[in-house]
Structure 1
Amino acid sequence: MERNLWADIETNQDYLNFRVLAGLVSQMILDANGRPLSIGISGGWGVGKSSMVKIVKQDIKERMAVSITTGGAEKNDFLFVDFNAWFYQGHDDAKAALMEEIARALTEKAEAETTTLEKGRNLLKRIDAFRVLRLVSEVGLTAASGIPVGGLLRTGKGLWEMFTDGDVSADDLQAAEEAVSKHRKDVAGLIKPRKAETPPQMIKEIRKQFEELLEELKVTLVVFVDDLDRCLPPTVIGTLEAMRLFLFMDRTAFVIAADDKMIKESVRVQFSSARPDDDIVTSYFDKLIQIPLRVPPLGTNEVKAYLMMLFAENSNLDTQVLERLREKVNEQLASSWKGNAITAAFVQGLIPNCSAELKAELELADRLARQMVASPKVGGNPRLIKRFLNTLSIRRSLAKVQHIAVDDAMFAKLLLFERFAPIAAFNSLTELISTAIDGKSEILAKLEETVRANKSVDDDLWPAGWKDASKDVEDWLKLSPSLSGVDLRGALHVGRESAPIITTEHKLSKQAAEVLSNLLTLKIGATKELKTSISAVPGAERAVIMDNLLERANSEKEWGLPSILFGLEALADADSVQAERLVTFLGDRPGSALKPSLIARVEAKPWAAKLMEILEQRKDLGGTRFEGCQESSRITHGYIEDQQRPRQERATCPQLA
């Protein structure tokens, strides 16, 4: 079944039991009974503030519909105005824009009443005049030209740019005069009747006319202000000041959805010259917001519910089945304090004939939820969860097109690591998978086995960048499915937009890649054919081959006869430059890791003498000369299978025992 992407927009579909808080807000507005009210709905970016606002609005309408049906209220008791300050940023004065939106809504409401309608139109004119006066004072051209610049923003196309380009010419003034002449009637209707009024007088008249309109219409104005925390400080302050004109006016209620931290920071920036302290900033905000509320953070139970409802929504369930599912899930969330959890089994039981595909997705949601909450890069944020699912859906589609068979849960697990892990850690994961034989990383398998056995991971086993996020990584490794023995190249390939995957094949020619593959799997000494193939590889590619061999060798804990040694010595035998790199690598192994069988294996090599010198100079090995170990090394070489030989070696060469 093909899946659609989830839209990153506000919704009135309540998948998180937000209706409890929304109902509280609605009831407060109803209980105010026309008394002024301001409510702040706060929360970080993407937590669902906009959705909460929509649910509040819907809840009020539903409550009023019930009240009207039972004869408890008159129709149209409430007038709703939605104002998104972000839309006006950079295009209009936020203060005047908010006033105009409110006045226009009141005017449209009053269309059936001639007297009230005229008052609404007059109010709009006053607001236009207020906008004109504000802009004229800012530009400072009234004295020079006598032309109301602000009022021509909509009538004289391009005049604003002419007057604000830093060079006011005679041609600019002439163009303005012509525009005024052409629209003289409109300008006169807006400006001349009010030209003697000062801004305070205009504001007083605006408030008076608003109050009269609200009283005559018998409505409570409910203004929802959203996305204020996306705006620049001047727009934030302008909107807040416009709200202040209406706050504490009878028959008004404001619901402001914004991150209070962002708003307070805007206040601080706007008044930076006065250097406001925290108390002043907080007081400014508190004077505007009577009742502060926060969107509650999501826990594991809520994230499970959200993920499962999103999957259910996208599975073409019957509308009635989906609505019943939503209600039951919210009921379960409401009683979660009793220990009632959201599980895949619980949700599956609510869906008649639940498909196998949806069951798998619900199981996936069950497994992912805890990591979605714990991950600092997701933190249970609904918007980030949607983005995660959209990315997952895209990668599944890419895999299908390219015929890459990867379990959905494996896609999700790798994507989750990509989301929460540091960049260095994710790059290490990429390298582990890319350089592993058939994409099956032995290091990942060892880490997973250790963590799932509840054992502590040795510091030197952690790949680069993993130890810094070890707790999160351990939780991730415990997640199903298991990474052990799984070819992860396909899953990594479809996610390569996140980090370029430089595989062995990208670095090496086909011939060199075959040599590397043979060296990685070598269990005995190199054959004549392999030696010939190594010699035929260019020196630059032999260096890349050694990079990959040493990367694998770095995970070895003991250096007696690890299987990787056979490939390393075969390459060193064919290339003196790579031999020096191997000597440096072996000479740097911890003393506890070195075993006599290593010396037995390599002592006859041309490059072994240099290794012996390095080891003899090691203070942690006691400065021992290794000639005395050669005889026992030969014995060890001849009897590797003999378990009694190490005791003889320890007697001859105790420093290496």
Structure 2
Amino acid sequence: MAHPRLAGPAEGSAVNEDELAGGHMMSELQLWDDNPTAVDLLGFTSIVDTVAAALQSRSLDPVTIGINAPWGGGKSTVLGLLKDELNRQSGYRVIRLDPWEFDDQFDVRGAVIGEVLQDLLTNYPDEGLDDRVKDLLDRISWSRVASSMARGRLVAQTEELVQALTPRSKENARSLAGFRSEFAKLLQDLAPLQRLVVLVDDLDRCLPDAVMATLEAIKLFLSVEKVAFVLAADQEMVRESIAVSLDATGRGEQFAQRYLEKIVQLPLSLPRISADEAAAFITLLLSEQRCPQQEQYTQLIRHAQQRRAQGLSPVLADMQSLPWEPDAETVGLASRLATGLSAHRSGSPRSIKRFLNAWALRTRIAERHGIDIEASVIAKLMLLEDSHSKDFETLAGLQDAQRSELLQRWQAWGRGEEPDKPDEVSEASKEWAASDPDLINAPIGPYLSLAASLVSLTAAASLTQQQLSWASDLASASDPHRNEAQTQIVAAPVADQQAVAQALIQRARRETETDHLVQSLVYIATHTAELRALIAQGLWEVRKYLLPGAVVDIDTSDVDELRALLPQLAEATDIEPAVQQAAQMALGR
């Protein structure tokens, strides 16, 4: 049978293969990357236009605009589209910063200010800024020296370094006190510049201290006339980082909300993708490779954008006048995927792309095993596996005749043809059972046997609410909550355990207290042999964020894959000295 082609966007990483397997030509494998798109496929133009209009308002000067969305919600794409829009306007200078990627994580505040100054110096070479910018950079440099000495990073061996800690007047070139006023004068004298716009991305990926340092740079030093900031971040995560940084004062939770409101004058939230928008998004992703000419694909995108601007829905309708339109099979498949994903996922562009990648890979695996099954059937079964794992296990464990009989009762109940739910399945699976395609006569037995032997490829695409709850409790400082979650997670399917373990590993990169989540990871590894290598690799990747307690948990785990980390930690030079010492002591014992 012919499988629908799996197509990716122009920026995606395509793997095109013409292979023979079992005498059959393999379908083309296309994968999507996580990079922000340079083309608006989701109707972000209205957000971009709103932000651009706000930046043109003279009543908002200076201003900081916050673009709020969860992980994978399109924030980086919006910043890219906004930068393109502003670059077309005269008098605007746009700088895009990513504090998460700064080499100097010790002084993020200084790095933010330094990036802005260097950009001005580079892009206005004829404005005589050299001496003035050098003076401001000197102030930042000496501030770094003072901070390094205060934190024990430098040893004061010369009189010049000792003087770095000596208070100075605002006029002194080594004082940071006069930075803001000098910076404001520089911008006012820079006639070609009407608005300096600094786009800050991935702030919610930074450690709490880096988040606070970036916000402090905005509030204390760079918030002057002609300057605007656009912060793209998950507001809740930024608020949590502020609270962590202020915990030592006892005012963390109390002031985090007020602090962020003081910084951000104009908050905007990206809308959650509806099922209709998700269907259009998936259709456009699938259509890009199928469309015979790039210009025809561009016209398809423009058609969707125009209907969106006119408030018409669905956005991919009335396409008869276009030189090319996606076929009914592609549109129907995209609709079924969108319906299934919207019921159980965050609906973010990234989670959709990741599901499509997992679907493409799973389809390829099935082909390699000679399994003849429609790609849309695989997609529906993957949604069941990912969102209702126990129901999937029930279906996979039945013989063909029993499976067909259950599917008949299950689908009849889902579609309202029968009032009673089958005892074998969950109430939450009703919408899935009602969706197309019909599985009763589909040859799904060989695929189910294959899928049951695999660790879910879609588990990492996005977390379900239950997985999120487990991840939160497993990292909790509360022993009862953590212990209960540990008992529940090791009783869950391996796919759930893998997704949660990966979430904990990612969380370790932003937590200041990692012992509790490491303890939970060790607990999972102790009880689930299949995940030991993955967890060991993850702990090594986040070694910079481990605390000495992690070494104790690893040492006492009796898990060979984890204990193999001890000699590596004992020799590592990029971790906390106390952690290295703890590993050395464990090896000595």
TM interval, shorter chain, is: 0.5 to 0.7
Q: Report the counterpart of residue 379 of structure 1 in structure 2.
A: 346
Task: Kindly indicate whether residue 183 of structure 2 is the aligned counterpart of residue 210 of structure 1.
Answer: yes
Q: Which whole-Å CA distance do the structure 1 matches of 2:325 and 2:50 have between them?
A: 35
Aligned ranges 1:365-376 → 2 under 5 Å? 365-375=334-344
Task: Kindly indicate whether residue 85 of structure 2 is the aligned counterpart of residue 59 of structure 1.
Answer: yes
The DSSP-based 3-state class of the residue aligned with 1:139 is coil
Aligned ranges 1:408-423 → 2 under 5 Å? 408-421=375-388, 423=389
Please say if residues 139 and 176 of structure 2, whose CA atoms lie closer than 8 Å, have aligned partners that are also in contact: no
Scaled by the length of structure 2, the TM-score of the pair is 0.67
Give me the identity figure in percent: 27
Please say if residues 304 and 342 of structure 1, whose CA atoms lie closer than 8 Å, have aligned partners that are also in contact: no
Please say if residues 107 and 120 of structure 1, whose CA atoms lie closer than 8 Å, have aligned partners that are also in contact: yes
Runs of 4+ aligned structure 1 residues displaced above 6 Å come to 198-201
Decide which of 462, 467, 475 is 2:423's aligned counterpart.
462
Q: Report the counterpart of residue 329 of structure 1 in structure 2.
A: 304
Q: Which whole-Å CA distance do the structure 1 matches of 2:455 and 2:321 have between them?
A: 38
Number of residues paired by the alignment? 426
> Do the aligned partners of residues 92 and 277 (structure 1) sit closer, same or farther apart at CA in structure 2, a change above 3 Å counting?
closer
The DSSP-based 3-state class of the residue aligned with 1:448 is helix
Decide which of 294, 303, 306 is 1:319's aligned counterpart.
294
- Could you report, residue by residue, the CA deviation over 1:174-205 in whole angstroms, capped at 9, with x for unpaired residues? xxxxxxxxxxxxxxxxx98x976379972333
Q: Which whole-Å CA distance do the structure 2 matches of 1:10 and 1:487 have between them?
A: 38
Matched letter for residue 32 of structure 1: R
> Do the aligned partners of residues 17 and 86 (structure 1) sit closer, same or farther apart at CA in structure 2, a change above 3 Å counting?
same
Q: Report the counterpart of residue 116 of structure 1 in structure 2.
A: 129
Please say if residues 410 and 481 of structure 1, whose CA atoms lie closer than 8 Å, have aligned partners that are also in contact: yes
- Could you report, residue by residue, the CA deviation over 1:516-547 in whole angstroms, capped at 9, with x for unpaired residues? xxxxxxxxxxxxxxxxxxxxxxxxxxxxxxxx
Q: Report the counterpart of residue 617 of structure 1 in structure 2.
A: none
Aligned ranges 1:100-499 → 2 under 5 Å? 100-113=114-127, 115-139=128-152, 141-143=154-156, 148=161, 197=168, 202-218=175-191, 219=193, 220-276=195-251, 278-336=253-311, 340-342=313-315, 346=318, 349=320, 352-354=323-325, 359-375=328-344, 378-421=345-388, 423-432=389-398, 435-436=399-400, 440-458=403-421, 461-463=422-424, 466-467=425-426, 470-471=427-428, 473-492=429-448, 495=451, 496-498=453-455
Please say if residues 105 and 210 of structure 2, whose CA atoms lie closer than 8 Å, have aligned partners that are also in contact: no
1:129 Cα offset (Å): 2.0
Q: Which whole-Å CA distance do the structure 1 matches of 2:178 and 2:58 have between them?
A: 25
Please say if residues 427 and 499 of structure 1, whose CA atoms lie closer than 8 Å, have aligned partners that are also in contact: no
Decide which of 21, 31, 36 is 1:10's aligned counterpart.
36
Please say if residues 440 and 488 of structure 1, whose CA atoms lie closer than 8 Å, have aligned partners that are also in contact: no
Q: Highest Rg: 1 or 2? A: 1
Matched letter for residue 327 of structure 1: R
Please say if residues 204 and 233 of structure 2, whose CA atoms lie closer than 8 Å, have aligned partners that are also in contact: yes
Please say if residues 84 and 226 of structure 1, whose CA atoms lie closer than 8 Å, have aligned partners that are also in contact: yes
Q: Which whole-Å CA distance do the structure 1 matches of 2:70 and 2:434 have between them?
A: 30
> Do the aligned partners of residues 494 and 254 (structure 1) sit closer, same or farther apart at CA in structure 2, a change above 3 Å counting?
farther
Q: Report the counterpart of residue 75 of structure 2 in structure 1.
A: 49
The DSSP-based 3-state class of the residue aligned with 2:267 is strand
Gaps of 5+ in 2: 6-27, 458-589
Once superposed, what is the RMSD of the aligned Cα atoms? Answer: 2.8
- Specify which structure has the higher proportion of helix: 1
Q: Report the counterpart of residue 96 of structure 2 in structure 1.
A: 82
Please say if residues 130 and 199 of structure 1, whose CA atoms lie closer than 8 Å, have aligned partners that are also in contact: no
1:330 Cα offset (Å): 2.0
Q: Report the counterpart of residue 20 of structure 1 in structure 2.
A: 46
1:477 Cα offset (Å): 1.1
Please say if residues 113 and 222 of structure 2, whose CA atoms lie closer than 8 Å, have aligned partners that are also in contact: no
Q: Which whole-Å CA distance do the structure 1 matches of 2:416 and 2:261 have between them?
A: 53
Matched letter for residue 436 of structure 1: D
Q: Which whole-Å CA distance do the structure 2 matches of 1:203 and 1:350 have between them?
A: 63
Matched letter for residue 211 of structure 1: A
